[in-house]
Amino acid sequence: MDSNEVRPAPGIDAPNNQKEEHVAVFKPSAKAAIPTALGWVLLAIAFSASLVFAMIQRPDLVYLPGTRLALLLGLIWAVCLIPLLYKLLVLKTMTYSLSTQRLEYTRGILHRRRDQLELVRIRDITSNRTLMDRLLGIGTVILDTVDRSHPEFRIQAQPNVYELSDWLHKLNAAERQRLGYREYEGTQGL
């Protein structure tokens, strides 16, 4: 797994005299915005083409001088591109930070929020790749946890989703072994 940043985390000694080590920081891929972009660009093209077609076919009903036509077309494109820009901004402000003991998730454009999930609380790891995800070379890792605030945690738009799942599984198993954590049948979610 490639990481953007690898360094030991400052802090207090963990149980068994092991310090928590920072392992990786990763972000969602901007490729996840491509389906949204295609939809909104096609909508803008359709509105623009219908306006121009109406002006050509019925100039008596639709008369717009050059400046007004340009302003109306600009407005159509601006309205259609705002959701795309918002989606890109949301993707670019998401950060997943992984250490040997926890996964921290930071998100938000103006109001930033940081949540953390202890790796030992992960029960199951699933990789999901829709047809569009496979075409774009990305996927989603779904973590089934016993955490109350995140019973299902999604790591979205990641390249190499299968390697990430395997890596998270190894980190989860190592943390469970380090803590001597056992989960008994029928006790999930307690």
Q: What was the pLDDT predicted at 27?
A: 96
Closest of 150, 141, 142, 140 to residue 189, by C-alpha: 150
Q: What is the DSSP letter of 33?
A: G
Q: What was the pLDDT predicted at 186?
A: 66
pLDDT average, residue stretch 55-68: 77
pLDDT (tens digit per residue) in 12-27: 444 455 789 999 999 9
Is the pLDDT reported for residue 66 higher than 90?
no
CA distance 104 to 174: 18
Neighbour tally for 54: CB within 10 Å: 13
185 burial (CB, 10 Å; 0-12 / 13-18 / 19+) is: exposed
pLDDT average, residue stretch 111-119: 95
For the chain, percent of residues with pLDDT exceeding 90: 71
pLDDT (tens digit per residue) in 139-153: 999 999 999 998 999
Q: Do the Cβ atoms of 41 and 80 come closer than 8 Å?
A: yes
**Residue 178 CB contacts under 8 Å (≥ 6 apart), including other chains:** 15, 16, 18
